[in-house]
Chain A
């Protein structure tokens, strides 16, 4: 049994707004083990980012309200941890990368100064050692002229280069967990492929677990060991990537895969999902997908828990799956 890095148990969270509350996260349980690459896929509003942000306590304090649940990150209770310890953990034990690499870098400082600043904040390396470390990190990211890149300003570099720098930096202190929120969405496909390759190679080397948030099923299918499919704030299905994507159990996952352009022949109409995402301020009781689901029946008006489908961590939050499985 591998050690657990991140455990989110039964997390429910809402954002108070005018005239009520947005139930953004509903009873989400999510686990990441040492060295594992775990994906969260979902469309907008599925709370895939909010869940990860909450795990790192990155949301502004007054903006949300936790209804239930606990988050344990490397043995710490994240909902109770004080700011000082939190700050120490961020960047050292847990690193993060985001979609737009430009906003994560200070435009007025050279790349080198920024990298050295971060490295020396979390380690006891001397200026020279930190510099060598930075060069090693960049070289590992296939940046050939690392010395020269350190002298450059962020805006002088391409998006792909900036993202590789940030990934290199994220690995500076050999973190136990890396949270990557759509890190390749803004990049071109050739660059995306390279970034994913480097990300995975480095994570395997350092035994870093990755929580990979992405809307692109194809990317997730190539990159992740295990995945969680989220819909309207709930986990609807989870399991090993291949198993889930080749034989999806939850009607939502199935519908999502069927809606991909590659699932239809050219000229043939695509199979879209009818209806719209439920209003998060006024969620239906029971399954969040019931109104758009072709298979909905009476049981769907009560909340489906994650039904375990087989021994290998496969589960689906659907009454239909439960019925079929029992039969």
Chain B
């Protein structure tokens, strides 16, 4: 694994904000905005697996779309070696059911990124398909079938093969194993790791599953309400969370063998992303909030919490 220095950044997000208009007055002007991303700064380094964790509505899917260049940010810039180069970026979606066209034969599906952009002879495409199928562990004789004839795990292999076909540098993995069974998940995760080693791929691994993130990623970013609230090395962040939200999140993850569910969580409702809070976004749900938290929070040393050090020293009283 070649984790380069800060210079080896494949993608760099600088102060990215995305807001969608919502509602309209009689002139068709938006009456309010949904704030999906609120100032995201992120460096993606070549060859790494960067985990992005968060619950629904935290903006991780929007972030994926910005990374892939499918969505123009309302503010901020995406730069880096892979930015704007469509063959350098690929995606694997969560649901292998809807991410493969059931009317295309598998070899067509796999080579679609290639023949969509340039004319290639059928035999060339087939050769590529055979090669990729072998890489992801699909049998060659299945290439003429249709996706619906495959199990979920095999369909995800097909999706991975498709992502590989344009020989990308970066693959965004959007919950790639969330729809799969545990035994199949293990196969797919192993496959992803092997492919990364072979091809020096960079993964951006989006998931809500902490155990999968912790297994796959060296670096993790935690998102809440369109912001990164904590970012750092997986080994530190997942064992010693510094942001109260990270702590709540990790504390809620069920673990095998532990009995009981602990103290009752009282408030689980997210604040609206139409009218953003002025201070800390986590203020209302935070067990440690103080009046000082009413000021806007900045990401300092990987944590977006002005009381992070104070709380860490006190061991989260």
Contacts and interface: CB of A to CB of B under 8 A. Distances in A.
Interface of A: 43-44, 142, 158-161, 188-194, 196-198, 200-201, 215-219, 221-223, 242, 245-246, 255-257, 259-262, 264, 266-267, 269-273, 276-277
A218 B183 CA distance: 15
B176 interface: no
Given A43-B184, A44-B181, A193-B261, 15 more contacts: A160-B268, A190-B268, A192-B252, A215-B181, A218-B256, A222-B255, A222-B259, A246-B257, A260-B211, A260-B256, A261-B185, A261-B186, A261-B211, A276-B151, A277-B151
B55 interface: yes
Contacts of B187: 270, 272
B260 interface: yes
A259 B186 contact: yes
A272 B183 contact: yes
Interface of B: 55-56, 151-152, 181-187, 189-190, 193, 208-212, 214-216, 218, 234-235, 248-249, 252-262, 264-266, 268-270
Contacts of B260: 222
Contact of A44 (B56, B152, B255): B152
Contact of A188 (B55, B152, B182, B189): B55
A142 B190 contact: no
Contacts of A223: 261
A180 to B, nearest CB: 15
A191 B256 contact: no
A102 to B, nearest CB: 13
Interface of A is mostly: helix
B254 A221 contact: yes
A117 to B, nearest CB: 26
Contacts of A261: 185-186, 189, 209, 211-212, 214-216
A106 to B, nearest CB: 22
Contact of B255 (A158, A259, A262): A262
A223 B258 CA distance: 10
Nearest to B153: A276
B256 A200 contact: no
Nearest to A201: B264
A192 B208 CA distance: 12
B259 A242 contact: yes
Q: Which of A160, A193, A221 has the most CB of B within 10 A?
A: A193
B264 A188 contact: no
A261 B190 CA distance: 10
B298 to A, nearest CB: 24
Contacts of A142: 264, 266
A221 B211 contact: no
A194 B254 contact: no
Contacts of A273: 183, 186
Given A191-B268, A193-B252, A246-B257, A270 B56 contact: no
Contacts of A198: 264
A266 B209 CA distance: 14
A218 B151 CA distance: 24
B214 A219 contact: no
A193 B218 CA distance: 27
B257 A190 contact: no
Contacts of A245: 256-257
A221 B261 CA distance: 10
Contacts of B216: 261, 266
Given A197-B261, A261-B214, A271-B186, A188 B256 contact: no
A200 B259 CA distance: 13
A217 B182 CA distance: 9
